[in-house]
Amino acid sequence: MQQLKKRMHNTLITIAGLVVLTTSAFAFAGEKPSFAPKVPHPENGTTECVEPEDEMKKNHMNYILHQRDKTMHEGIRTKTYSLKECINCHVPENSEARFGDDKHFCSSCHNFTGVSIDCFQCHMDRPMEGKATKGKNPHGAEATPTAIKATISKYLADTSKTVQDTKDAGNE
């Protein structure tokens, strides 16, 4: 009996401690409590990406992958979805941070999520001298090529459909 009481007492203390800890964490984090890393806006003052932020968080890899093949095989060199332009805008010139450091734009999230990528085994993880984007919202002026956009949307739709189909098939 004595032992059970002691155990309950300990549990209560632990729960109380946890409550205090989490509330303070929420208080520090501001209105939106989140444990995800804060992905910074580019230092050049740009606040809007080429697509809405939520879309980019979820699907940036598809945009880059699609552009990759278009550039490599068809010589289409539009800047909107090019990895080079991601880097030119998101990584400041003369940045000390390399891919892998928590401070690097890409690794700030990739390290946290544990998703390893091999882009930077070949591609530069920082802008070349004089290539960093200086102005705000550099892509605002350049209209997104409609054909490319349509293809990507179709690709995304197909992919989600396939996922859905697979799930349905799994349930049966």
Partner 1 sequence: MSNSDVNISRRSFVEKSATAAAALTIAPGMFLHTVAEAKPADQAVTSAVRWGMLIDTAKCASGCTACVSACNTENGIASHGRPRTDQQWIRKVTLRDKQTKHEISLPMLCQHCETPPCVDVCPTGASFKRDDGIVLVDRHICIGCRYCMMACPYKARSFAHETVDNTVDYQPRGKGTVESCTMCVHRVDEGGTPACVEACSEAEHGAMIFGDIKDPDSEISKELIKHGGKQIRADLGLNTGVRYRGI
3-state percent helix, strand, coil for the chain, nearest multiple of 5: 55, 0, 45
Cα 49 to Cα 121: distance, rounded to the nearest angstrom? 25
Nearer to partner 1, 37 or 124 (CB): 124
The footprint of partner 1 on this chain (CB under 8 A) covers a number of residues equal to 23
Site string (50-69) toward partner 1, x via CB under 8 A:
------------------x-
Nearer to partner 1, 56 or 76 (CB): 76
Single residue of 39, 56, 76, 109 touching partner 1 by CB under 8 A: 76
Q: Please give the DSSP secondary-structure letter assigned to residue 34.
A: -
Under rule CB under 8 A, residue 141 binds partner 1? no
Under rule CB under 8 A, residue 124 binds partner 1? yes
Under rule CB under 8 A, residue 127 binds partner 1? yes
Segment (H or E) for 146: helix 146-171
Cα 15 to Cα 5: distance, rounded to the nearest angstrom? 15
